[in-house]
Amino acid sequence: MTGRLSAKALVLVSLIFVTLGSVLAMRPPAAAAASVDGVLKLMPVPASVTVREGRFQVDEMLNIAGPGPQTGRAFRAAARFMSRLAGRTGLFLKQDFLLTQAPSVEGGIRYAFARPGTLLPNEDESYSLTVDLEKITLDAKTDIGVLRGFETLLQLLSADETGYYFPCVAIADQPRFTWRGLLIDVGRHFQPVDVIKRNLDAMAAVKMNVFHWHLTEDQGFRVESKVFPKLHQRGSDGMFYTQAQIRDVIEYAADRGIRVMPEFDIPGHSTSWFVAYPEFSSAPGTYGIERKFGVFGPAFNPADERIYPFFDAFLKEMSALFPDPYLHIGGDEVEGHQWEANPAIQAFKKKNGLADNGALQAYFNKRLLKILTKYGKKMVGWDEVLQPGLPNDIVIHSWRGPKALVEAALKGYQGILSNGYYIDLCQPAEAHYLNDPLPPDSPLDDRQKALIMGGEATMWSELVTPETIDSRIWPRTAAIAERLWSPASVTSVDDMYRRLGPVSIELEELGLLHLKNPDMLLRRLAGDPRIEPLQVLAKAVEPLKNYQRHGGQAAYTSLSPFTRFVDACAPESLPARAFRKNIDRFLAGKDPLLGREIGATLALWKANHALVLPVIAASPALREIEPLSLGLARACEVGLEALDRLMKGQSPPAAWAEEKGKILAEAAKPAAHAELAVLSAVTKLVAACAGPVK
């Protein structure tokens, strides 16, 4: 079949969407039946919540009041709160809250705090929130605590036939960890200021408080240096942040209670530096901005005494630009071949008793540490910086895993965990959620546990652009935010997923594109607004996990198009997860009604292939997805047969399982850098029908 969708096909597509919407929706537990109650949507879960009888009704006369000054952070947060509340409810609020927060009537929202908060680790972010019938009271020790309380209050907003309201509650809340960060790599793919700001808004909404700005990479040097202007002029392709933009972002983040920590990755991952200053590299040559991705050889020469005055001047400039007390030097993945091949470096190592490259890097780090200390900065570095002889006042940022974090703490170093929070790897939210900087079986004592400051989600940008980055960060990072804020006892995966949906929608109001842009990408690929078959397929597949997408025939570079079908697919298919949960429930009880629902889903997925084919025929860019669509149809055909046998209690022929296993194995092969996310559930059906699939 060629050409555009026929009228009959469009009717079938509409039927698919209606049916999938009802069948794949996660069925909440009985306790969550009253979904209008905002208490059940809170994310992160507060430390303590007491639900009371009654509700505070929201109307156009709602007013808000707090202490001055009217130029303060809490005042501006209150103004943003009222604006967002009006946006959600459509109410024409009467208070001119942008000019004054003096109460016009009794009741309403009252907030108070003891002092302005400082943007430092271990600052008090606690708050108490009480919602009564006539009044809402928000108290905190700092204005940052007030900001956190406003986010909780917005999440409490509920509605029914009577209108909008806040349920009566008493909440006492504070974070579990002091460091709750998000790293955004702007070196491999530059992200404009508007991308950074909307993600800062999202961070504040889920109570994250450290923005880790990864500013230099082999693929780009992204910050203006007035002392060494050749760095950004030659190493950025013209895509960098001016110092005025940097200050603007820092101020924007501070207004939301978020620190901004810069990272300048050295001595490796540093090709873009050498475009301007090749003489500082460990090997001679002319350097160009790296377009490919991976670990590359160019590295600074620690034996060259000229680099230390250079770093002194550069870090002095950056220390003045970034007020945060911490500065990240990277330090990861020094490939080492340039060091090994340089006779002068080998002679330097021998002269100074440096046994290996690790010792050489430790020498380099000690020299940098003296510079940073002179300018009032504390050094943060990835695992590799942990070498004998480094003072204990540096912070170890662990990408290798909890074992490395424990090792650092045992030696008296503060640490931050990112292993397990690599959101660029397209792992499910569950994997991140169950990853804890301090798991129950931690071998650390209380003093050592206090050295674990928290964690960071890491958005490495090899495969993202400003159009797609939001969909790779959110909503899964909200699950990480909860892990770092909420009590360690909050571990229900199903409940986390139940709340992740509402939070995702609420984040969209901040300008995030994680829900909006996938359909835009599909329309672009199809060249047509009628993309329903593509939407159905996209919800049944996921991008390849970990670093698999870099393999095969495609050689991604920083100049590659990231507008293919896989870029429109969510890192985790929540409809596929819901389908898997339904399969598990069916196999546990053989509920006929649920079986019929599953059968309807399988039948509609199977039918979708015929609708995808004409779309593919009209768009050469989509032809790579045909194996995915065909695999889904054939897998669903197998699933329907297995389901029918299970519901009828019929045993299959002897060779049936092996035959169906071959079909499923073929469907499991990746295509278009994606894979079927629903296949494991179909495999369970076949296994239950005839034993394990061979």
CA distance 34 to 321: 49
Q: Is-contact 598 583, C-beta < 8 A?
A: yes
Catalytic residue among 123, 217, 251, 333: 333
Q: What is each CA distance from 239 to 86, 243, 274, in whole angstroms? A: 37, 13, 17
Q: Is-contact 211 455, C-beta < 8 A?
A: no
Instruction: Give CA 243 to chain center in angstroms.
Output: 26
Select from 606, 607, 626, 608 the least CA-distant residue to 616. Answer: 626
Please state at what angle helix 574-589 crosses helix 679-690, rounded to 10 degrees: 20
Rg for the chain, CA atoms, rounded: 27
**Which residues have a Cβ under 8 Å from the Cβ of 396 and sit 6 or more positions away?**
381, 382, 383, 385, 386, 404, 405, 408, 413, 414, 415, 416
- DSSP run (H or E) holding 145: helix 143-156
CA distance 248 to 427: 33
Q: What is each CA distance from 434 to 318, 417, 459, in whole angstroms? A: 37, 13, 19
CA distance 88 to 655: 58
Q: How many residues are given for the chain?
A: 694
CA torsion angle 612 613 614 620 (round to 10)? 100
Whether 509 is catalytic: no
Note if the bond before 475 is cis, omega within 30 degrees.
yes
CA distance 671 to 208: 36
CA distance 408 to 423: 24
Distance spanning both ends of the chain, measured CA to CA = 35
- DSSP run (H or E) holding 645: helix 626-648
**Other Cβ atoms within 10 Å of 364 Cβ, number:** 25
CA distance 148 to 151: 5
CA dihedral for 113, 118, 119, 121, sign (positive or negative): negative
**Which residues have a Cβ under 8 Å from the Cβ of 678 and sit 6 or more positions away?**
540, 573, 576, 579, 580, 605, 632, 635
Tell me the H-state helices in 381-515: 402-410, 429-433, 446-449, 469-473, 476-485, 493-508
* The two three-digit tokens of residue 392, written as one number: 């204990």
Residues carrying an active site annotation: 333
